[in-house]
Amino acid sequence: MTPDLRPERDFWAAHPGATLAGVDEAGRGCLAGPVVAAAVQIAQVDIAALAAGPLAAANDSKQLSPAQRDRLHAILTHEPRVRWAIGQASVEEIDRLNILRATHLAMRRALEALPALPDHALVDGLPVKGLPIPHDALVKGDARSLLIACASILAKVTRDRICLELDARHPGYGLAQHKGYGTRAHLDALRRLGPAPCHRRSFAPVRAIQDDLPFPD
């Protein structure tokens, strides 16, 4: 499945002239680093031309290679017809609030960081609490909506680059390779080195090491 403009067109058919953004996150399931959200807004008058032109390859970020994501990230962040913003929730906020609430906080921050708050949002996944505007939640939205797909690319590339910085600060965990996910190499490094400041203490594999408990398989 590749994203098309059906969700956007359905919204504008019901709300002509309203402003619309797509929102997605990256890093929710990771053991380290912040959760990152992105919001992307494109005007109704511009979206078809962008979808057929420079954004024709946009898709769910998981379906793209790193090189494809980087190329689309450059297009999105330099195209004047695209408005975009990033929001994050820190490791400390994840541990204090829980990952679901922290993810919702990052999404709210992304929307609020746009040059102007849109009228409505399309959000990947399930409904989100605490957004400053109404929204429609679309399961597998990053494979259905162009706006959400673009947000997924910005969130993924931003978080991957954060993980490169974390890898330089906390060598030995392989964060540049696995980007904080719970791979075997990452779990082995946690056993060997213990948690670093960038690790999420509320996540079970990290908590087990911190509390010297049997490590979960």
Instruction: Return the CATH number at 139.
Output: 3.30.420.10
Residues 182 and 204 sit within 8 Å (Cβ to Cβ): no
Residues 124 and 24 sit within 8 Å (Cβ to Cβ): yes
**Domain encompassing residue 124:** 6-160
Chain centroid, CA 125 distance in Å: 12
**pLDDT at 64 (0 to 100):** 97
Whether 190 is in a domain gets the answer: no
Whether 117 is in a domain gets the answer: yes
Whether 200 is in a domain gets the answer: no
Distance CA 73, CA 75 (A): 5
Q: How many domains does the chain have?
A: 1
Residues lower than pLDDT 50 in the chain: 213-217
**pLDDT at 213 (0 to 100):** 46
Whether 195 is in a domain gets the answer: no
Whether 60 is in a domain gets the answer: yes
Cβ burial of 172 (10 Å; 0-12, 13-18, 19+) is exposed
Which positions ≥6 away from 95 have C-beta within 8 Å? 200, 201, 202
Residues 99 and 42 sit within 8 Å (Cβ to Cβ): no
pTM beyond 0.75: the answer is: yes
**pLDDT at 1 (0 to 100):** 67
